Chain A
Amino acid sequence: MKTFNSGGVHPPENKLTEDISIEVMPVPSEVAISLNQHLGKPAKPVVKVGSEVKKGQLIGEADGFISANVHASTSGKVKAVKPHPHPGGQYAMTVFITPDGKDEWAEGCNTAPADWKKLSKKEIIEKIRDAGIVGMGGAGFPTNVKLSPPPDKSIDTIILNGAECEPFLTADHRLMVETPDLVVQGLEIISSLFEGKAKAYIGIESNKPDAIAALKKLAEPKGIGVVSLKTKYPQGAEKQLINAITGRTIEEGELPFDKGCLVQNIGTAVAVYEAVCMNKPLIERVLTVSGMEIAERKNIMARIGTPFREIVAYCGDMTAKTNQVIAGGPMMGKALFSLDTPVVKTTSGILFLNNSRLNKSRERTCIRCSKCVEVCPQGLGPWLLANVAQLKEFDEIQLYGLANCTECGSCTYVCPSKRELVHWIKYAKALVNNRQKRKSA
């Protein structure tokens, strides 16, 4: 079975919701749509307080090349545009809409599925850009930018990422089982942009045999390879997935297209299909509501902008023992500070965890056991990075590959001294950035 060449861990999978079908969540009493749901510059608001909007209407316009459009996820009245908590942990400009209950689509949106083969390459990319599609795996890189690599780079491998290696999360898994046809069509649209020169693969971890079977039936006759991957974290990280499937290694400072590869998420492929064939902007996504402390674990199709508080109520409330609510997976997700935080395009799940799952003991000193070195998929020395960060040696730390760390969390997971290795690395990255900013100012 294929896997990446070095490191990795295997935390308890806890895929508690893998057999629960996707449930469509009703319109919440208020939607709070963040204008910063992607990498790059936040979108510029194009609606005013008090104006009426329709479902699918543009409310935030991409500001610059690396940015993405944002659309209303239901019809109603704009109540406010103000900073609001964001699942990334910071505040972001957010458009608040009070739904009118009609849930009316804007003109030209959500049309009957049309044949994408009649569209030109340029039209397809324009449709993807207009629909505000971003990478739905977590980073949120604008998809239209990723699909237009520089002309001197030739793409020979397109990989659809169905690994979903984070424990608990099953959103992509359910999409693959329930709508394999949309996944395959989305991938075909993406491949068509490279004139059939690129070989397409779907990489799926072996703990999802039903998804592998469903996709094999549909994809293999079309020449798409379905690759079963070893269940190991972080199999779904872009660099590791490329390494597992093609054997190529993305070196420091390189991007996947430097090695002829392009990776897209399962959710993104479905969104691409809906945008290109049905003119449907990205206004909803599948997310997993799981963890030990929520009454009903579910996979839900929630509108972008649904406050987490309403999702908690929809899933039958959390118990009093809940100590941490995490947006995303337990390895890379972020602990929330407010339940008013809304769903964004990159929210793959919400987890409710109690004390027994938390690393509550204090950090102790490094005992040089080198477990973190063994599990680092990027071949770094996390203990060294953390220790040097702690000593505030920010010139030296860059020599040890600070920029190469993908913050996957494998090192923190195995550390017997409970060191906050990834947190120290993030801290170092922030301070290195701050110093560079001050130097250039």
Chain B
Amino acid sequence: MISEAFIPAVSSLGAVALALGVIIHFVSKKFHVEEDPMVTIINDILPGVNCGACGYPSCNQFAEVLVETKDSSMSCPAGGSDLAAKLGDTLGIEMAEPKPQIAVLMCQGDNDIARETAEYMGIQDCWAATQAFVGPKQCRYSCVGLGSCIAYCDFDAMRLENGLVVIDKDKCTGCEACIAACPTGVLVMQEKKAERYFIACNSHDKGAATKKACDAGCIACQKCVKVCEDDAIVIDNFLAKIDQEKCTACGKCIEVCPTKVNCIRLEHDLNAVKQKKAS
């Protein structure tokens, strides 16, 4: 009979399972690790993408340190002020207001604006392209336009459009993961502001060389420096730079910029976030 053949198998396996179960029970009692339940709660609030922007390798480690030290200056850049408030409520402390940052591409040289060097047939990756030559665009400081940084974004905030990386202002959490992935250093972090003026160019070439390579390049003409009443703009190595601390967002610089495609850009970071929330 078939059922008779089952008896020894089921009973022996059952006995083994029972014995192991008993062992596991005792081992788990004996080697029990006391864990603060708060860590689990905090860990659930955190974004859980382990982006590393806070300085800890994982969200769990951030939670452990936060629960242990209750340090109010610790912040999760990816979570922003909403998360800081939530963490503060949960732990019963006043968390410092984090300064939200955003990754900014200091280049407007898309396939129409920037001149190309030569047809590139190699590996479609910014690092590979810059090993072979200056890159598909004549300006060696520009966005290479092959999107190596996109794979490093955990928040789906980057995409490639017409040979230029586009950053979604609402999705970018300022985790800085993309910065190290860029071979030309054209991605930088800036603090989110209601009105943020910046020079969207990274070229340290002299004016004539910049103009030859791109219509949107900063030619270091000094016009914006002269018109700025707050001394917020300086030219360093043939590239203008706006000091975000000093800038009062008067908007005069953007009117005098003589380049074909204005190299000074105005972004409304906070409004964009608020509008989205309101809707």
Contact = CB atoms under 8 A, between A and B. Distances in A.
A85 to B, nearest CB: 8
B110 to A, nearest CB: 19
A435 to B, nearest CB: 8
Interface stretch (A26-34, A69-77, A264-272, A424-432): A424-432
Interface string B176-198: 00001001000000000000000
Contacts of A335: 118, 132-133
A149 interface: no
B140 A90 contact: yes
Given A90-B140, A424-B123, A430 B117 contact: no
Given A82-B206, A82-B209, A89-B133, A427 B128 contact: yes
B209 A89 contact: no
B134 interface: yes
Secondary structure call for the A interface: mixed
A335 B119 CA distance: 11
Contact of A337 (B121, B127, B133): B133
A90 B134 contact: yes
Nearest to A386: B123
- Find the residue from B122, B123, B125, B183 having the highest chain A CB count within 10 A: B123
B133 A434 contact: no
Interface in B93-152: 117-118, 121-123, 125, 127-128, 130-134, 140, 151
B121 A360 contact: yes
Interface string A83-120: 10100011100000000000000000000000000000
B192 to A, nearest CB: 25
B215 interface: no
A420 B133 CA distance: 16
B134 A89 contact: yes
Q: Contact size class for A?
A: 20 to 34
B122 A420 contact: yes
A438 interface: yes
A427 B144 CA distance: 15
A420 B183 CA distance: 20
A423 B140 contact: no
Contacts of B117: 337-338
Given A420-B122, A423-B122, A430-B183, A83 B209 contact: yes
B17 to A, nearest CB: 39
Q: Contact size class for B?
A: 20 to 34
Contacts, number: 57
Secondary structure call for the B interface: loop
Interface in A405-433: 420, 423-424, 426-427, 430-431
Contacts of A334: 132-133
A358 B206 CA distance: 36
B114 to A, nearest CB: 14
Contacts of B134: 85, 89-91, 337
B187 to A, nearest CB: 14
A394 to B, nearest CB: 11
Given A90-B140, A337-B117, A438-B180, A426 B131 contact: yes
Contact of A430 (B121, B122, B127): B127
Contacts of A434: 127, 180, 183
Contacts of B131: 89, 423, 426-427, 430
Nearest to B118: A337
A192 to B, nearest CB: 40
Contacts of A336: 118, 133
Nearest to A89: B133
Interface in B195-220: 205-206, 209
A423 B180 contact: no
Interface string A318-345: 0000000000000000111110000000
Interface of B: 117-118, 121-123, 125, 127-128, 130-134, 140, 151, 180, 183, 205-206, 209
Given A363-B123, A424-B123, 5 more contacts: A82-B209, A89-B131, A91-B134, A427-B131, A438-B180
The 8 A-B pairs with the shortest beta carbon distances in the complex, nearest first, are A89-B133, A337-B118, A337-B117, A427-B128, A426-B131, A337-B133, A430-B127, A423-B123
